[in-house]
Amino acid sequence: MQENQNTTLNDTAENAAQNVADDAQAAESVVLTPEERIEALEKELAESREQTLRALADIENLRRRHTEELASSQKYAINKFAQELVPVKDYLEMALLDQSGQIDTLKMGVDMTLKQLAAAFDKAQIREVSPKAGDKLDPHLHQAMSAEESDAEPNTIVRVLQKGYLLAERTLRPAMVVVAKAKA
C-alpha cells in the first residue's frame, strides 16, 4: 500500500512537471513577429490611454459636483436660521402697526418677540457672552474698549458696554467691556 502511494505521488509530480514543460514549449512556439508585437503593444497602449481618459473624466466630474454642492451648501446654510427669524420680523412689524396706545400690551408683545428671538438663537447655537464685573478679561470673548483706574485687579472687567455672542464655540461678536487699570 505504501508503495502504491509513492508511485501515485511520483506520477502526479511527473505529470505536473510535464505540464509546465509543455506550457513553456507552447509559449516559445508562439513567437510574435516584430509587426505583431508592435500591433499588440499599440493596442495595449490605446486601452491604457482610454482608461486614463475615463479616470480623468471621472475626477473632473467629481470635482465639478463637489464645487456645485459646496456652493449650494454655502448659499442655503442660513436657511434654517432665516426661517426662525421670519416670525420675529412679523411680530416686530405688528408691534409697530399697533395703534391702541396701550404700553403694557406693546411691552408684552415685545417680550414675546424677544423670547421668539432667543429660541431662534438657541436653535442656531448662538449664545450670549455677558461677563460680570470682576471677571478676568478674555481676549477671545471680550474686547476692551477703554481702561479706567479702579481698585479692582488690573485687566478685570469693570462694566459691560455691549454683550457678545458665540456661534457654537466661535466668537461671533466679542463683548465690549471697560477694564480696570492700576491707579497712578
Identify the pLDDT of residue 180: 93
Q: How far apart are CA 31 and CA 171, in angstroms?
A: 75
pTM: 0.57
Record the cell numbers describing residue 92, joined without a space.
416686530
What does DSSP assign to residue 172? E
Mean pLDDT for the stretch of residues 66-79: 86
Beta carbons within 8 Å of 106's beta carbon, 6+ residues apart:
95, 98, 100
Mean pLDDT for the stretch of residues 158-171: 93
Highest-confidence segment of 1-10, 49-58, 99-108: 49-58
Mean pLDDT for the stretch of residues 65-80: 87
Residue 5 in this model has a pLDDT that exceeds 90: no
Q: How far apart are CA 178 and CA 137, in angstroms?
A: 9
